[in-house]
């Protein structure tokens, strides 16, 4: 396939480095200094989008106009999701994910199964910790939010998630009651140098702790998953996720 890269940062370069291994070629590398157009995009079979939350929805709309299926790995744009979907044409195709790592997708699946089991044991308190490189600006990560949503779908005593205070102190927000805090799932987000990504779900009781953890060793897993997603969406129309790619 001929792949266009929308966004040419660390992930775009990691994907480009793997394309030939999968038998594909890169027909365009686009960023703010070299923006894509309908004409340049139309040369591609599939576009893979890893830009910025501000640019993401514009790039997706451009792919719709160019009739090019698009795989979206940018996070923190989902507040515009419904608006973006409303612009789809009958032959448009979109596959988005907060994380394209196959291992992370398996972790998402196991996280929901574990949450179903742990919902029967209220003595355990659930929490999430995510660690990323210092260049990652959004907190918490899209992966952590997806893990949190998987827990909230199955937990009886939790109603929402919140980003934990960096100093670890529990604070009441204006108008908030303490019982509301007890019904929130805490997410801690750490930013360290040269960390591709680590996510840990913890269930802690007075007597023990249960952990589900995924630790990325490099960006290759994310890049490989994005390429597999591109192979899946080629020639299709509609809206898809990595669940469709992996048949989970």
- Tell me how far apart the alpha carbons of residues 108 and 5 are, in angstroms, rounded to a whole number: 26
Q: Which of 105, 39, 137, 58 is nearest to 240 (CA)?
A: 105
- Kindly tell me the sign of the dihedral angle through the C-alpha atoms of 246, 80, 142, 209: negative
Under CATH, which number does the domain 2-100+220-246 receive?
A: 3.40.50.720
- Tell me how far apart the alpha carbons of residues 178 and 55 are, in angstroms, rounded to a whole number: 39
More confident residue, 170 or 216: 216
Q: Which of 103, 43, 53, 102 is nearest to 73 (CA)?
A: 53
pLDDT digits (tens, 9 = 90+) for 180-199: 557 899 999 999 887 878 99
Query: What DSSP letter does each residue of 218-229 carry, written as one string?
Result: SSHHHHHHHHHH
Quick one: pLDDT at residue 135?
Answer: 75
More confident residue, 13 or 171: 13
**Whether residue 2 lies in the annotated active site:** no
Q: Which of 117, 136, 110, 120 is nearest to 196 (CA)?
A: 136
Average pLDDT, integer, range 165-183? 52
pLDDT digits (tens, 9 = 90+) for 120-156: 999 999 999 999 888 776 789 889 999 999 999 999 8
- Tell me how far apart the alpha carbons of residues 199 and 144 are, in angstroms, rounded to a whole number: 7
CB neighbour class for 12 (10 Å; exposed up to 12, middle 13-18, buried from 19): buried
**Whether residue 136 lies in the annotated active site:** yes
pLDDT digits (tens, 9 = 90+) for 32-44: 899 999 999 999 9
Q: Which of 247, 226, 194 is nearest to 95 (CA)?
A: 226
Q: Which of 11, 15, 52, 14 is nearest to 35 (CA)?
A: 52
Q: Is residue 84 predicted with pLDDT exceeding 70?
A: yes
Average pLDDT, integer, range 170-176? 47
End-to-end C-alpha distance for the chain, whole angstroms:
25
Q: Where along the chain do its domains lie?
A: 2-100+220-246, 102-215
Q: Which residues contact 178 (CB under 8 A, 6 or more apart)?
A: 172
Average model confidence (pLDDT) across the chain: 90
Catalytic residue among 2, 10, 136, 162: 136
Average pLDDT, integer, range 55-84? 93
What are the strands of the beta sheet with 198-204, ordered from one edge? 160-163, 184-192, 125-133, 198-204, 209-215
Quick one: pLDDT at residue 166?
Answer: 55
Q: Which of 112, 98, 190 is nearest to 145 (CA)?
A: 98
Q: Is residue 161 predicted with pLDDT exceeding 80?
A: yes
Under CATH, which number does the domain 102-215 receive?
A: 3.30.360.10
Please, which residues bridge with residue 210 across strands? 203
Whole-structure pTM value = 0.78
% of the chain beyond a pLDDT of 70: 93
Q: Which residues contact 85 (CB under 8 A, 6 or more apart)?
A: 94, 239
């Amino acid at each position: 396939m001929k792949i266009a890269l929308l966004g040419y940062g660390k992930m775009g370069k990691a994907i480009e480095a793997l394309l030939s291994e999968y038998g594909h070629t890169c027909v365009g590398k686009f960023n703010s200094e070299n923006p894509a157009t309908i004409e340049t995009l139309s040369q591609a079979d599939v576009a893979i989008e890893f830009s910025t939350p501000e640019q993401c929805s514009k790039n997706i709309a451009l792919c719709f106009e160019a009739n090019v299926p698009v795989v979206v790995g940018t996070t923190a744009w989902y507040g515009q999701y419904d608006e973006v979907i409303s612009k789809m044409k009958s032959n448009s195709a979109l596959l988005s994910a907060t994380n394209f790592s196959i291992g992370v997708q398996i972790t998402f699946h196991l996280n929901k199964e574990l949450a179903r089991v742990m919902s029967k044991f209220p003595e355990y308190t659930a929490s999430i910790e995510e660690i990323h490189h210092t260049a990652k600006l959004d907190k918490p990560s899209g992966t952590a939010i997806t893990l949190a949503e998987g827990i909230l779908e199955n937990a009886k005593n939790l109603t929402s998630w919140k980003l934990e205070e960096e100093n670890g102190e529990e604070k009441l927000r204006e108008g908030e009651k303490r019982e509301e805090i007890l019904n929130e799932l805490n997410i801690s987000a750490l930013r360290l140098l040269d960390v591709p990504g680590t996510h840990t779900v913890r269930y802690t009781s007075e007597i023990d702790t249960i952990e589900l953890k995924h630790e990325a060793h490099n960006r290759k897993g994310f890049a490989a998953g994005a390429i597999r997603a591109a192979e899946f969406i080629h020639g299709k129309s509609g809206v898809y996720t990595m669940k469709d790619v992996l048949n989970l």
